[in-house]
Chains A and B, each alone.
Chain A
Amino acid sequence: MNHWIWITSGFAMAIASAACGLAQAKAVAAACEGMARNPSAAASIRFALILGLALIESLALYTLVIILLQVRAT
């Protein structure tokens, strides 16, 4: 019965979500500034923004999957 998994999974998910939040904030800030400077390019900037956000989100989700695997294994 390894009870450390409950503590470490909380910390791991929190760190992953925090890093993901910071990265997505940078992406959104750059996209907003780009759209403000060049409104005619807004469509392609929005496209790149959505793509980037989904890829960054998936990094936080990898942590969640590891946690789920470990919780299921204990």
Chain B
Amino acid sequence: MQEHELWFTALLNDHLAGAGNAVLAWVGTRAENPARPWPNFIAMEILAALAVIVVFAILRPKLSVDRPGKLQHCFELIYLFLRNTAEEIMGPHARLYLAFFGTIFIFVLFSNLLGIIPTFESPTMFPAVPLGCALATFAYYNLMGFRAQGLGGYLKHFAGPMPLLAPLMVPIEVISHMSRPLSLTIRLYANMYAGEQVTLAFLGIAPLVIPVAFMGLHVFVAFLQAFIFALLTMVYVSGAVEHEH
């Protein structure tokens, strides 16, 4: 199923094909078409990351305590929203982990919204990108659990409240932990993919005004799914580092 190449992907393929092939060779695979190794979703993902970096690079020198500007107000709102949600879920220790929650939220939000702009596509529309975010979350909350409670202490929580129940609880806990990255991936991927497909379907039926309603729904769902991803990350991290003090 050959996808149409976006102009940004074509730009990367024209000028950086050698670098793309080198990276693929470094991890041991080859591109399907070595003349044009960059797929759409990698190019869009890089664009989303660059957008986040540029926005924060513009924001950082403009931060000021006395005379905050509009951009600072906007990001203060986002920061306070994330911090209040995290403190509501995790308690006062939320500050330690807020950096990761904010990164995940803003990256997923920018990735989702990138698809609304006409010549771009959401990287989260391809299954690999939500999988990457979900695996990062999985690795993060397990690492934070190990760091907060020690290697044995964290693994002991899989056994449940009583040692007698351990043979029953351990498989259930392991399966439920394994299902977390799967559900995060599928939720984000399916929401973004279905949103675009519904808009395309209605563009085929009634090209003029009706698809706007579905694009509006897609924008709302983009915000909501980014928030839900960050929220579930907070819930998983709080579950991993609780029982502390």
Interface residues, chain A, with chain B CB atoms under 8 Å away: 44, 47, 50-51, 54-55, 57-58, 61-62, 64-65, 68
Main secondary structure of the interface of B (DSSP, over half): helix
Interface residues on B, range: 10 to 19
Question: What are 20 A-B contacts with C-beta separation under 8 Å?
Answer: A47-B88, A50-B224, A50-B227, A51-B228, A51-B231, A54-B187, A54-B224, A54-B225, A54-B228, A55-B228, A58-B183, A58-B190, A58-B191, A61-B186, A62-B186, A62-B190, A64-B190, A65-B186, A65-B189, A65-B190
Residues of B with C-beta under 8 A to A44:
88
Residues of B with C-beta under 8 A to A51:
228, 231
Contacting pair A64 B194 (CB below 8 A): yes
A64 to B186, CA, bound (A): 10
A44 to B85, CA, bound (A): 10
Main secondary structure of the interface of A (DSSP, over half): helix
A58 to B85, CA, bound (A): 21
Instruction: Tell me the residues in window 188-224 of chain B with beta carbons closer than 8 Å to chain A beta carbons.
Output: 189-191, 193-194, 224
